[in-house]
Structure 1
Amino acid sequence: MRLSNGSDRMRRPLAAATLVAGALIAACVVAVPQAAAEPAGTTISVTARPDGWHGMSGGAVVDYWTTNSAGAPVPTSGAVFLPPGEPPAGGWPVVAYDHGTAGVGKGCSGISNPEGAPYPTLRWKEDRILQYFQSKGFAVVATDYLGLGAYDTGPHPYLQIRTEATATIDMVRAARSSYPQLSRTWIAAGASQGGQAALGTGHMQQSYAPELDFRGTIALDPESDVEKVLPAAGPWVPNTSAVGDGSMAFISGILAGLREARPDIDVNSYLSPQGRQLIDNVGTLCLDKMIQQVNGLTLGQLLSRQLSDPQFTAALNDYMAVPVSGYDAPILLLLNATDKTVPSPLHGALVAQFAANGVDAHPVLGTGQHCELNPQMWAAMDDFVARVRSTPTVP
């Protein structure tokens, strides 16, 4: 999911599940021989970008190693932005930003290569958040995730929370190895799909990166709990206005990602011939082209049987569920009660689950569109980052 552009079609709620929008087509794809693989978090290359890139100075593309759904080493890419001036004692604190939905095909992310974006307004909105963190004295690192940057590693495992988190943490490690002025102190932040990814990162960092000094998570309208409602879908689902082309694109992305990540589940066995053809087609596409592919299709047309099979639901839960307990750092939830992309009942369910499990999660509500930030949300972010900066960074 990416920041909303106000399109009615992109904002229709999803009866079975839903997410949102924006995609960018990157210009080049580079293949790295498997024999060249290095440990996760190892930098492949750093390429400086001119001032004004993403509206900031101090930017660079970082190519680095992470792992795929099977745990094998794969290359990916991202970006780093350093604040101007001299770093504080201990080094710059780091924010790892996770972007919203871009599609599932190679070159779709707008992080390492924003040129040619099909949704420039959405790119601008996410750049505004990156610029905000840099202005607060944070070094900003942002991953392309798997399969969405400069490397052809197969379809992006859309909303697979584990690989989103490992790609994010490995990006932090690669940036720190390339920029000694970065401290161990860091936070995770993200919007929409990126909000889900940031929550997964905040949970996984305890075991995956204990050497770092993690101080919290900011999640704006994060995807959550779709895995609880999507299994209700089956071939009988009618064509309704509740499931628009945007929502159908998100569902096709989930199915394409799950098929890529979990071949043992045999996702094709749940799909109709038309559904299999669609998932084959979208595996190389960015979000704008995915929406064109699903134009006029119904969810029922994609499926040959209900998705409530226990094996499927267990796999879907493992693939994309946001952990609702076991966090060791505070969470700031920025949630729009009128969100029609990740419907507000899903936001409410996430807040309730966090509260029931004693998670230190503070919700701040708005009444805007998906991923719209109101003054109260900006103020809450100010307070959150000020608390992070109030304690010296760890070198």
Structure 2
Amino acid sequence: MAPPPPPPELIDDAIAEILLRLPPDDPACFVRASLVCKLWRRILSNPTFPDRYREFHRTPPLLGFLGSNYSYCRASKVSRFDPITTRIPFLEPEFDCRALDCRHGRVLFDMVGGTKGSLAVGDPITGDHKLLADPDPDPISFYRSGVVLCAVDGCNHRGCHGGPFVVVFVSTPSNNDGTKGTRAWVYSSETAAWSSPASLQLPKGSSVYKKRGAHVGDQIYFLLTDTRILKYDLGKHCLTTICLPAMYTNCHRGSLITMDDGSSLGFVVIEDSTLHLWARKVNLDGSMAWVQDRVVLLNNLVPIIPTAHTHGLVNVIGFAEGVDILLLGEDASGYMFDLKSGQFKKLSNPEYHYYDVFPYLSFFIPDFGSRKSPLPVETKQ
């Protein structure tokens, strides 16, 4: 009896459709697929494949977290990258600089090691980075923050690595006695220059808080150390303030987030194991006001058990824009909370306590056509 005929071979288009469905949150899958045969590797090496892949999946995946530990001494701040499934080869596990922001595939660093008085914008996917001269006349101030944004109008931010960017940087003098203004500068990569500063006088003791800012339209928002929020208008180049929801006396356990697909400012805070989520909405008279969006009882979803090393206090330490995931931390553990599904997931215990965590979202598609591009490495769960 004659052996059965071999199964028909898949045509290239069918194989490409299969490869387009590789999970974007595990870039090591590309390496395994490239080893199947020369045909698969050739399809993955096609210059058009990355754009097709990003268009198919649309939302960049969450690849890991960039965390900065807490200290009142800028020189002791160390940032660390913790991948979820795959180690990004260009990004060192630890580095001597403080992360200020992580957005649109780029990371903004405050350099605190050998390069004094400098900021840097890095692209973890390509390994490229650019040093920026520090515009702050008080470069040792602890009260500094900033955001990095893609500067391409209408960009979908699925693969804007290497394109133009802007940095909005804000700082309050170290000893704010009420006579020195808080300033904001804008850096453009296209002009390679900082703008003149916008300035706003804040009351004595009110300073820029060292947490990540929020970006809504042309407005950038930063928490202050009192009951207010600093607002920078990118189009008008001016600073103003708005208030937190009235019942909060400080922002220490809260964070600014974006809501409604990035069109609204949000504020999230945890009190007595209860998560309160607020959104800033337009009233019928056209004015803006805080509206409570929801209340979540954390003890009903995840046990927060005090130990000898923790008081069981949970703080909001990060927010993943685009996927609506909150990062919650206490002294011993970290958690991801999906605002859409309401699901919790425990993260691996950090080696030190994170004060602020920046989720890194990006497509990481290895360039198999270039020998210069390292391949992702799987990590143990």
- TM-score normalized by the length of structure 2: 0.23
Larger Rg belongs to: 2
Q: Which has the higher helix share?
A: 1
**Quick check: which one's strand share is greater?**
2
Greater relative contact order (CA < 8 Å, ≥ 6 in sequence) = 1
